[in-house]
Structure 1
Amino acid sequence: MKRILVLCTGNSARSQLAQGYLQHFAGDRAEVYSAGVDPKGVNPVAIQVMAEDGLDISHHTSNHADEYTGIAFDYVITVCDNAREQCPYFPSAGELIHHSFSDPGHTPGEDLVTSFRRVRDEIKEYSREFIHQKLPA
């Protein structure tokens, strides 16, 4: 079984969405974790938009990246530029991957929920492709 860690700044939205989708698409082929370099708690809008797509992330917690430095990860994925720059050193990470997604709720001219849905959909497609390429069935 592979271990995947998704890192973001606040571990409140993008990394939570990615954790939900990566786990969904990987099934029992992976354990997926998420963390932040400055955790802020899981954003309720992230929970809402995932529920709209049939995934329950209400049980997720917001964790600091330092909590996972002792785990041997096969993949560490940073999903925002700030997390990439501040990413703690993971000596056991097999592959470090960066894919930046915009911060939902911070897009000029876009309302909060629409922004979260757009980023959710981008992360969903990225996660589906990631699992297809890295953990083929």
Structure 2
Amino acid sequence: MSDAVRHILFLCTGNSCRSQMAEGWARHLGGDEVSVRSAGIEAHGLNPRAVEAMAEVDVDISGQASHRLTDEDLQWADLVVTVCGHADEHCPILPPGTRREHWPLDDPARAEGDEAAIREVFRACRDEIRARVNELLQRSENGPA
């Protein structure tokens, strides 16, 4: 990554699953090279299944908290990554120079079926987010995110 620490904000509807997992992955994979936050258009609380799915791969997000997007979050961010259509549609106008990227991820909290099937949906989402975060961090090493 470049000399400047990147400030990445992951934004979703409720800041309970996708943005929380993305925040965890970015911290885990980016280390000291990146500063990360997540927020929601609303705050629905941290989803225990997201915490469990991440713990399975030794990424602890249990200390993260769900919070509603603030103007301070937007001023802080170099890049805002929306991880659902609702957040993409309702993302406020960003400050000049702040970039925006959209990842259309399905909401694992809407998964149906027995517990095993729901866990598989969370795992698939977790793994897709890991791949996207990894790709984002690699792009950042080679130039603007």
TM over 0.5: yes
Per-residue deviation at 1:112? 1.5
Kindly provide the CA deviation profile for residues 50-79 of structure 1, in whole angstroms up to 9, marking residues without a partner as x: 000000000000011125345331110000
Matched, 1:11 2:15: yes
Long gaps (5+) in structure 2: none
Could you tell me how far apart the structure 2 residues matched to 1:70 and 1:133 are? 22
Matching residue's letter, 2:72: Y
Give matches, 1:66-77, under 5 Å: 66=70, 68-69=72-73, 71-77=75-81
Per-residue deviation at 1:93? 5.1
Matched, 1:130 2:136: yes
Matching residue's letter, 2:81: I
The one of 41, 54, 61 equivalent to 1:37 is 41
Per-residue deviation at 1:108? 5.3
Matched, 1:61 2:83: no
* Identical pairs, percent: 38
Question: What is the TM-score normalised by the length of structure 1?
Answer: 0.91
Question: What is the TM-score normalised by the length of structure 2?
Answer: 0.86
Per mean C-alpha deviation after superposition, the further-off stretch among 109-118 and 12-21 is 109-118
Give matches, 1:103-122, under 5 Å: 103-107=107-111, 111-122=117-128
Could you tell me how far apart the structure 2 residues matched to 1:93 and 1:12 are? 27
What residue number does 1:95 align with? 99
Per-residue deviation at 1:17? 0.4
Long gaps (5+) in structure 1: none
Per-residue deviation at 1:82? 0.2
For the aligned residue pairs, the C-alpha RMSD in angstroms reads 1.7
